[in-house]
Structure 1
Amino acid sequence: MRRFFDNQNFQLDSIVELGEDASHHISKVLRMQPGNEITLFNGKGGEWRARIEAIGKRQVQVLPLEFQQTDRTPSCAVHLALPVIKGDRMDYALQKGTELGAASFQLITTSRTEVRLGGGRLDKRLPHWQQVVTSACEQCGMNRIPLIHAPLSLDEYLQQQNDTLKLIAHPGEQPLPPAALQDASDIQLLTGPEGGFSAEELEHAGKRGFRPFALGQRVLRAETAPSALLAAIWMARGE
């Protein structure tokens, strides 16, 4: 059953008009018909089984039939910090990070970050990236949409971290014990830019309690590392 996000409250057996994005996708892209059933979610947890009642020029009317308290959110909140990556690879990193259960995304700038957005460019990209994450939730079954936070410098990001398990994407001399991942309820996962972290940045992160975390000694691309390391976390936790 196709899933759609719409940021409004739904009530059982009460017809509602969907927003512009969901209505356009249903009527113009998928060309669905009245009587078709869909799944709706509003980002607050759970989802609704609903039936399309009417399709107009701009709005689609649906009837919520059943609320399902389905929650596919992982038991451990992994907050992913990553730099802005060039081109469509940023979309890829956010999409796959969402599919693999990231709880939120914090954009960062480092000494080797190649893409630096400011002013109007950033204002345009943030809504686009949030839509990428929303679409990924529609596809993968997540009912809570991760937020994307505007860029911070690496130093600002490091200074605001608390006593949760903190990981940085970098091969270490001592591999991280699986028990550390299994016992954590909240994780900060920091991944680097296309040129990697500088020695000074790695040292600073280490002083702030970030522990190296990698898949062996292989160097992953900036857009690949977030999803690969998220998958490694879930495998270690058995989720």
Structure 2
Amino acid sequence: MRRFFYTIDSDNADAPLLPKLSELSQGSDIELPDSIIHHWCRVLRANVGDQGILFDGFGGEYQVQLQTISKKKAIATLLLHLDDDRTAPIISKIGLVMSRGERMDYAIQKATELGVTAIQLLSSHHGEVNLKPAQVEKKLAHWQQVAIAACEQCGLNRPPLILAPLSIRDWLAPTESPNNKTAVSPIVSTLSKDKYYQVLESAADLRLQMSVPAAGQPAKPEILETVLKQESPYIELLIGPEGGLSDDECQKAESVGFAPWQIGTRVLRTETVPVVALTTLLALYSYNK
């Protein structure tokens, strides 16, 4: 069955929140948001009686059946709650220096499929992308939607949060930037306050700086396997741009606890690193269990 993200937030800031799916009882009828109507009813040409899966990010998912479809409205009935939790055993936040076009979309899509919890968008000295203030809302909404679409495809029911861009300096030293507030797209504004994501506000169990192969650097920090023996370790990854992080940025990262980690002997593209790093962490976690 097709899966769709049911956001309880509206594009209209003055509109009331929709109810969480968990607040509704089996057999309740719900009016579907415009985004689902467009995708399911118009693009996929669903018919009355068709069934699908809705998830709102607050846990589990719900089997529903279409009851009515009109030009501007569609009603579905909640049939069954499915208490499946497909989140990764590792809580992870990636600090990802932004790249251009499809490469950035690819990095977010694949990191989502591998279970990343949040992606902090970053700008850096050698980075290709520095968004103007007027661009931020539109790009943030686009990248959050890329993550949501990946969840719909792969089966995750808690989408990762895509966090508004910061300079790498501000991210590494938040106490030096008191006016620096982490923001998310309105589509996940309420969801971001859910207790599941609160761990992101605490200190990580391990911080890793993905580095290019260099003589004298360890292939794997010694503490990594110890941390991966924890039940739900929280790991932060810092991934630089195509040109790499500057020497000052590398030194700053190390000064706040980011241990250099290089995987293999080849220099990977920035959109490849999240895939390789998250896959390696999940494999090592499984091995250590």
TM range, smaller chain: over 0.9
Deviations along 1:9-39, whole A, 9 cap, x unmatched?
2321011110000011111111111111101
Displacement of 1:159: 2.1
Deviations along 1:72-110, whole A, 9 cap, x unmatched?
111221001101111111111111111111100101111
State the partner residue of 1:166.
207
Q: 1:186 aligned to 2:251?
A: no
Q: 1:102 aligned to 2:150?
A: no
State the partner residue of 1:3.
3
State the partner residue of 1:60.
74
125-134 or 172-181: which moved more?
A: 172-181
Deviations along 1:177-226, whole A, 9 cap, x unmatched?
45145235100011011111122221221121111223212111011111
Contact 1:82/1:108, CA 8 A, preserved across alignment: yes
Give unpaired runs (5+ residues) of structure 2.
9-19, 175-201
> Which SS does the other structure have where 1:21 is aligned?
helix
Q: 1:205 aligned to 2:246?
A: no
Correspondence for 2:281 among 222, 230, 233? 233
Deviations along 1:143-187, whole A, 9 cap, x unmatched?
111111111111221124835200011146222245145235100
Matches within 5 A, 1:119-130: 119-130=133-144
How many pairs does the alignment contain? Answer: 239
TM-score by length of 1: 0.94
> Which SS does the other structure have where 2:266 is aligned?
coil
> Which SS does the other structure have where 1:168 is aligned?
strand
Change (3 A) 1:81 1:101: same
Contact 1:181/1:237, CA 8 A, preserved across alignment: no
161-170 or 202-211: which moved more?
A: 161-170
Give unpaired runs (5+ residues) of structure 1.
none
Correspondence for 1:144 among 155, 158, 166? 158
TM-score by length of 2: 0.79
37-46 or 171-180: which moved more?
A: 171-180
Q: 1:48 aligned to 2:92?
A: no
For 1:162 and 1:66, locate their aligned partners in 2 and report how far apart those are by CA, in whole Å. 38
68-77 or 199-208: which moved more?
A: 199-208
For 1:76 and 1:219, locate their aligned partners in 2 and report how far apart those are by CA, in whole Å. 25
For 1:14 and 1:236, locate their aligned partners in 2 and report how far apart those are by CA, in whole Å. 44
> Which SS does the other structure have where 1:238 is aligned?
helix
Residue identity in the other structure for 1:113: G
Residue identity in the other structure for 1:119: P
For 1:162 and 1:15, locate their aligned partners in 2 and report how far apart those are by CA, in whole Å. 42
Q: What is the RMSD of the two structures over their aligned residues, measured on CA atoms?
A: 1.7
Q: 1:220 aligned to 2:268?
A: yes
For 1:133 and 1:101, locate their aligned partners in 2 and report how far apart those are by CA, in whole Å. 10
State the partner residue of 1:20.
34
More strand by share: 1
